[in-house]
Structure 1
Amino acid sequence: MTVLSAELAFAGGRWVEGVEIRHEGGAIRSVKRVRGAGRGRILLPGLVNAHTHLELTWLDGLVKPAPFTEWASRLMEERAKLGPHDLEGSLRDGIGRSVAAGTAAVGDFAWLSQNDALRQSGLRAVSWREALGIAPGRAEDAARRALGFLEKKTSTWSPGLAPHAPYSCSGELYRRLFREARRARIPFATHLSELREELEYLRTGRGPFREMLDRLGRDAGSWSPPRRRPVAYLAALGVLGGATAAHANYLTAPDVALLRRFRSTVVWCPQTHAFFGHPAHPVKRLLNAGVPVALGTDSLGSSPTLDVRDEMRAAVGKGLPLNTVIRMATEFGARALGLRKSGRIAPGWAADFSVIGGGSPQEVLSGPVLDVIVAGRRLKS
């Protein structure tokens, strides 16, 4: 039995002073009040980076702000210069930066890198295997490539499946991967309603996305636009249930209602949101409607850091209460990753903690990272 004490802990959605936690076998056994415990230590449920691309850590500062299709074209040009070994090193760099920033869990979208680094990192993690393929006749090949990376879950790591986005994947590919995710009981995620250009492309089949595909020589085959908004399109395909939706920047009231109805979780990436100059995110409407919203850093191609607390600071700066933001970075993040009994400090829940130096709630965003503990094991001390 291991004992962990803190001057202040965020437990059960509220602040508790003087806490002593006992944990064993990767789970919390007891939480009790102890006067004067753990001076100078703040205990949070493990911070979750619910949407990132760690294999793109090498992009740090390389790609400058631009309209999305220009930015994406530049990213693809740069990525084509690298091989799997380069991306594996970039992934390991991203893991190191994440732990240093106090992160205990990550939801990582992976394209080429293998699963070994994250699986062996000690982080609680989902490796979402990203798939692309807009031409309907190529869905099976794209699905087969993605499924080839699936491996057996461990106590802290799970594979996941992630068709990239409605503008880059056919309905056939979405359905195929959703069925496989349900069959294997693994998380399912996608980029959704991220861009104005996405709305136009799904409505008309034209616009900047069509022009980008033509420039890249990508053949959409027999694909035709669904003439629906992205959220309604995925709902009609039957693939929205329990899905994790990255970004969700452009939502109508019916979109929000569908996300709630299908128990989807949204991941907001505030710094990437600012990088692309999107209008105000609908985070408050989502939370008020009962849709969980987690936080993510996205990649270093569009975000200055892999530090979830930077995203938390940005969210607080947009007027969200600190306690709500902490839940977004812990409890709702765990939900986005499909984690059970994770994201809260309570008996029977996972012994995942981010330990910050300080003694007041405000210092959660500014204090030094003292420790990261996952399943009772210290990753940083």
Structure 2
Amino acid sequence: MPNALPRPHRPPASLHPPGDAPRAVIARTALTMVPGAAPLDDAAVILAGRRVLDIGPRRLVLRGFCGPTTDLGAQAVLVPGLLNAHSHLELSHLGAHSPSGAGFCAWVAWLMGQNLHALSPAALNAAVAETAGCGVAAVIDIGSRAGPAVAAALGRAGLQGLVCHEFLGWRSLAATGVPPALDAAVGDGLAATVSGHALYSTSPDNLRQGQALCRARGTPFSLHLAEHPGEVELFASGTGEFAALLRGRLLPKGWRAPGRTPTAEALAQGLLGPDTLAVHAVHLSATDVALLANSGATVCLCPRSNARIGVGVADVAALVAAGVPLALGTDSLASNDDLDLWNEVRALLAVHPGLPGSVVLDALTTTPARLLGRAHDLGRLVPGAVGGVAVIPPDLAEALDLGSPGRG
């Protein structure tokens, strides 16, 4: 599957101009994402910044309104501002250099050889602007070096969400927690927390401490899980190319394979629950899918990153059939061509053409909003919501099941 995909149609920049002066946006249809609500035809939304002041049929909403109005045309379909559930914005400077098609181990070896501390403010700002430009309102970002800079860049762009300081390694991090500089950098609409990297790169104690800290802060706990075949082989037998790459680097001396799948190991460590965001989840057995479903964990799909570094395709149909909540993320420019979440949707539908549009829309809005504890003001178009609006690109509007019950 090719990684590079066409750019979507861009809505006018006036959808979210600076300032809080009320303005109206008109569209053919608005999907509020309120359960049970029907699509709104000939719809209008009044916004102040990204805050929704009113939404409904145009004839009612615009009665007496005298502010500026943007008419998006007879084909436009509005949805709530999107949520990108997995990104690594601090790696944005690596976009021009990342390899493609060499396999996961080669990609990891390349990444380990990069200067990951060389944050480029220009690259970071451009990545945040690209994220916002595709209709994203909030981000769950993961990093270990530049959290304060990422939080500041998101804040300047008016984006909300969660900035996670990633626990990596086997040295005790009990006293580390969230760096004070990151806590100080998050402003309105942003929160700070920690995350675990992966079962093979973060000690069980550090993962459990990270999860406990997330629960204390009321934030989700993010973890890369079952991303590639080498990870499965590592936990099953401790052998293989990936195991050889990690020994002497990330794995401590004397580490023993538990003899089970990464998902079963995550469950054994107590890491799966309704507040868990399992990122990638490409290599799952039927039992693994059931474990995720029973735990209530959410899976974040990153199809273009998976394709670029050659780890395979997640069994989305099995996850949907089991009732596993899904979110979508772009991952980083170190493993993707851009940070356009609509391109992620295109890639997802290219390999899962029968995927219900309602599942995709929930993955972009309501599911990550619920995970963030922000279902009241993100992922829905209702008065008081603060995520603004996004426009479904014309080439995707027909592919999504926009008229399904509950997708209003």
TM-score of the two chains, using structure 1 as the length reference: 0.83
1:169, 1:17 → 2: CA distance? 50
2:250, 2:356 → 1: CA distance? 45
2:23, 2:122 → 1: CA distance? 34
Alignment partner, residue 60 of structure 1: 95
Alignment partner, residue 266 of structure 2: 234
In the TM superposition, residue 148 of structure 1 has moved relative to its aligned partner by: 4.9
Secondary structure of the equivalent of 1:79?
coil
Q: Is the 8 A contact 1:231 1:258 kept in 2?
A: yes
1:263, 1:149 → 2: CA distance? 32
Alignment of 1:22-171 (within 5 A): 22=46, 27-34=51-58, 38-40=71-73, 41-65=76-100, 66-80=102-116, 82-83=117-118, 86-115=119-148, 116-133=152-169, 135=170, 138-140=171-173, 144=176, 147-148=179-180, 150-151=182-183, 154-171=187-204
- Superposition CA RMSD, Å: 2.9
Alignment partner, residue 189 of structure 1: 222
Amino acid at match of 1:353: V
The answer on 1:270 being equivalent to 2:303 is yes
In the TM superposition, residue 119 of structure 1 has moved relative to its aligned partner by: 3.6
- Structure having the higher strand fraction is 1
Q: Is the 8 A contact 1:47 1:104 kept in 2?
A: yes
Q: Which moved more, 1:100-109 or 1:335-344?
A: 335-344
Q: Is the 8 A contact 2:302 2:330 kept in 1?
A: yes
Alpha-carbon distance change, 358 to 74 in structure 1, aligned in 2, over 3 angstroms: closer
Q: Is the 8 A contact 1:48 1:103 kept in 2?
A: yes
In the TM superposition, residue 163 of structure 1 has moved relative to its aligned partner by: 0.9
2:266, 2:314 → 1: CA distance? 20
Q: Which moved more, 1:107-116 or 1:162-171?
A: 107-116
Q: Is the 8 A contact 2:230 2:243 kept in 1?
A: no
1:351, 1:56 → 2: CA distance? 25
Amino acid at match of 2:259: R
1:99, 1:237 → 2: CA distance? 36
Q: Is the 8 A contact 1:130 1:161 kept in 2?
A: yes
2:395, 2:232 → 1: CA distance? 46
Q: Which 5+ residue runs of structure 2 have no aligned equivalent?
A: 1-21, 63-70, 401-408
Deviations 1:144-172 (A, max 9, x none): 16555551664311112211001111111
From 17, 23, 28, the equivalent of 1:7 is: 28
The count of aligned residue pairs is 356
The answer on 1:223 being equivalent to 2:255 is yes
Q: Is the 8 A contact 2:330 2:339 kept in 1?
A: yes
Secondary structure of the equivalent of 2:183?
coil
Q: Which moved more, 1:333-342 or 1:177-186?
A: 333-342
2:31, 2:389 → 1: CA distance? 10
Q: Which moved more, 1:276-285 or 1:352-361?
A: 352-361
2:245, 2:211 → 1: CA distance? 27
2:368, 2:217 → 1: CA distance? 21
Secondary structure of the equivalent of 1:151?
helix
1:219, 1:274 → 2: CA distance? 26
Alpha-carbon distance change, 351 to 269 in structure 1, aligned in 2, over 3 angstroms: closer
Q: Which 5+ residue runs of structure 1 have no aligned equivalent?
A: 365-381
Identity %: 32
